[in-house]
Amino acid sequence: MDLNFNKNEDHNKLLLTDLRQKLAKVKLGGGEKRIQKLHSEGKMTARERIDYLLDAKGKSIEIGAFVGEGMYAEHGGCPSGGVIVKIGYIKGKQCIVVANDATVKAGAWFPITAKKNLRAQEIAMENRLPIIYLVDSAGVYLPLQDEIFPDKEHFGRIFRNNALMSSMGITQIAAVMGSCVAGGAYLPIMSDEALIVDKTGSIFLAGSYLVKAAIGENIDNETLGGATTHCEISGVTDYKAKDDKDALDKIKNIVDKIGDYDKAGYSRIKPVKPALEEKDIYGILPKARNEPYDMMEIIRRLVDNSEFDAYKEGYGQTIITGYARIDGWAVGIVANQRKVVKTKTGEMQFGGVIYSDSADKATRFIANCNQKKIPLVFLQDVTGFMVGSKSEQGGIIKDGAKMVNAVSNSVVPKFTIIVGNSYGAGNYAMCGKAYDPRLIMAWPSAELAVMGGTQAAKVLAQIEASSLKSKGEIVDEAKEKELFDKIKARYDEQTSPYYSASRLWTDAIIDPLDTRTWISMGIEAANHSPIEKKFNLGVIQV
pLDDT in tens, 352-369: 999 999 999 999 999 999
Q: What is the pLDDT of residue 420?
A: 96
Q: What is the pLDDT of residue 464?
A: 78
The stretch 507-513 carries a mean pLDDT of 98
The stretch 151-162 carries a mean pLDDT of 92
Domain ranges of the chain: 1-28+264-446+506-541, 31-256, 452-495
Q: Which of 136-145, 170-179, 191-200 has the lowest mean pLDDT?
A: 136-145
Q: How confident is the model at residue 387 (pLDDT cuts 50, 70, 90)?
A: confident
Q: What is the pLDDT of residue 62?
A: 98
Name the burial class of residue 233, with classes exposed (0-12), middle (13-18) and buried (19+) by CB atoms within 10 angstroms of its CB: exposed
Q: What rounded mean pLDDT belongs to the chain?
A: 93
Please give the Cα distance from 198 to 176 (Å, whole number).
9
Instruction: Write the pLDDT tens digit of every residue in 2-48.
Output: 899 999 999 999 999 999 999 999 999 999 999 999 999 999 999 99
Please give the Cα distance from 416 to 500 (Å, whole number).
14
Give me the residues paired with residue 300 across strands.
none
Q: What is the pLDDT of residue 450?
A: 77
Q: How confident is the model at residue 347 (pLDDT cuts 50, 70, 90)?
A: confident
Q: What is the pLDDT of residue 542?
A: 60
Alpha helices, H only, 58-141: 111-127
Residue 453 has pLDDT above 70, yes or no: no
Residue 334 has pLDDT above 80, yes or no: yes
Helix then strand then coil, in percent of the chain rounded to 5, is 45, 20, 35
If one counts every other C-beta atom within 10 angstroms of the C-beta of residue 121, the result is 24
Is residue 85 within a helix (H) or strand (E), and if so which, with residue range? strand 83-90
Close Cβ partners of 184 (under 8 Å, ≥ 6 residues apart): 109, 135, 137, 139, 140
Q: What is the pLDDT of residue 181?
A: 86
Residue 485 has pLDDT above 90, yes or no: no
Domain 1-28+264-446+506-541 identical in fold to domain 31-256: yes
Please give the Cα distance from 215 to 243 (Å, whole number).
33
Residue 83 has pLDDT above 90, yes or no: yes
CATH class of 31-256: alpha beta
Q: What is the pLDDT of residue 1?
A: 59
Q: What is the pLDDT of residue 343?
A: 80
Pick the CATH number of 1-28+264-446+506-541 from 3.40.50.11810, 3.20.20.30, 3.90.226.10, 3.60.15.10: 3.90.226.10
